[in-house]
């Protein structure tokens, strides 16, 4: 069998097809181009909506793993890898979790974040090698992201992780793909042909961004790092975050600015501790103990302290 005969026929994938809505795109005005892209982008949320039950299952899986001290590890190449890196990088400052809790693997390494290293995505060996460095176990969940669902690097990484006991999730835009088959469960968003045929950084990339937002944010909410709809598990390391912490205490505890600043200082600038103190009247030590007992779940800590 020749090498070419083993390659997947990308032309059969919906994400690789020409989009009739974008016919004669190169002859359109700038406003017409923007309207076409905007119209196609509007379809993405509907495609994601159809996968909400699978997304919810993945959220519960991730929350369970993280609550037990495990890790969420994203794997991707190209656009998918960069979107994964973005989500992984933004969770620690947003939710106050340890950077080790949410990690990413990208074909080509960190230099591929700013420059294309496209040949790496064809290597199954590199996919296995990179995930092996993370030493995945039954305590981890590995999410493989690929619009086509046929990226060798990502498939091999998921297969390796699954063989070593990790839970695995596929995020793709084409059904019945090798990536879907390699994972325990799949989130498939059929966004259809791109405005620029095959440019999966567009609708497919938008769908992936939406899904990863839901996975990480949903898990953080389930873990109690959000109180009501506020990102209370932040650490005020700059003026913006300090102001946000003060604002949270004003909103949730009904304090004025001066009172909020004083309470935050008493809590040693740890917003969850200050919030438990404000809602229960306990001192800093008891608030911190309640949070430790609840594994950082703010609402449960408030109930326990009361």
- Please identify every residue annotated as catalytic: 90, 121
Q: In what order do the strands lie in the sheet with 141-145?
A: 102-106, 72-76, 141-145, 167-172, 185-188
Q: Smallest Cα–Cα separation from 76: which of 111, 115, 127, 37? A: 127
Q: Which residues contact 122 (CB under 8 A, 6 or more apart)?
A: 152, 153
CA separation for the pair 299, 8 (Å, rounded)? 49
CA separation for the pair 154, 74 (Å, rounded)? 10
Q: Which residues contact 286 (CB under 8 A, 6 or more apart)?
A: 305
Question: In the beta sheet, which residues pair with residue 188?
Answer: 172
CA separation for the pair 104, 202 (Å, rounded)? 21
Structure tokens, 41: 């982008």
Q: Are 26 and 101 in contact (CB under 8 A)?
A: no
* DSSP string for 199-248: -TTTHHHHHHHHHHHHHHHHHHHHTT-SBTTB--S----SHHHHHHHHHH
Tell me the C-alpha to C-alpha distance, in Å, between residue 28 and each of 33, 202, 246.
Answer: 6, 18, 50
């Amino acid at each position: 069998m020749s090498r070419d005969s083993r390659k997947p026929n990308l032309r059969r994938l919906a994400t690789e097809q020409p989009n009739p809505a974008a016919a004669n795109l190169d002859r359109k005005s700038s406003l017409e181009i923007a309207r076409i892209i905007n119209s196609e982008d509007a379809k993405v949320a509907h495609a994601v909506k159809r996968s909400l039950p699978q997304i919810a299952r993945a959220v519960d899986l991730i929350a369970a793993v993280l609550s037990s001290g495990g890790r969420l590890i994203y794997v991707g190449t190209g656009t998918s890898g960069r979107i994964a890196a973005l989500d992984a990088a933004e969770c620690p400052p947003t939710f106050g979790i340890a950077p080790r809790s949410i990690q990413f693997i990208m074909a080509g390494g960190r230099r591929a974040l700013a420059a294309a290293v496209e040949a790496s995505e064809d290597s199954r060996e590199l996919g296995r090698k990179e995930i092996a460095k993370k030493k995945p176990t039954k305590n981890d969940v590995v999410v493989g992201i690929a619009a086509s669902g046929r990226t060798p690097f990502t498939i091999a990484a998921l297969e390796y992780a699954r063989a070593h006991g990790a839970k695995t999730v596929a995020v793709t835009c084409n059904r019945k793909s090798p990536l879907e088959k390699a994972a325990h469960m799949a989130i498939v968003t059929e966004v259809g042909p791109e405005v620029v045929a095959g440019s999966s950084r567009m609708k497919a990339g938008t769908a992936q961004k939406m899904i990863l937002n839901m996975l990480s944010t949903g898990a953080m909410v389930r873990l109690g790092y959000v109180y009501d709809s506020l990102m209370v598990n932040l650490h005020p390391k700059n003026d913006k975050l300090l102001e946000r912490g003060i604002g949270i205490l004003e909103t949730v505890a009904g304090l004025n600015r001066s009172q909020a600043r004083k309470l935050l200082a008493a809590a040693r600038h740890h917003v969850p501790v200050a919030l438990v103190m404000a809602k229960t009247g306990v001192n800093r030590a008891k608030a911190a103990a309640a949070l430790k007992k609840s594994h950082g779940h703010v609402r449960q800590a408030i109930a326990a302290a009361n």
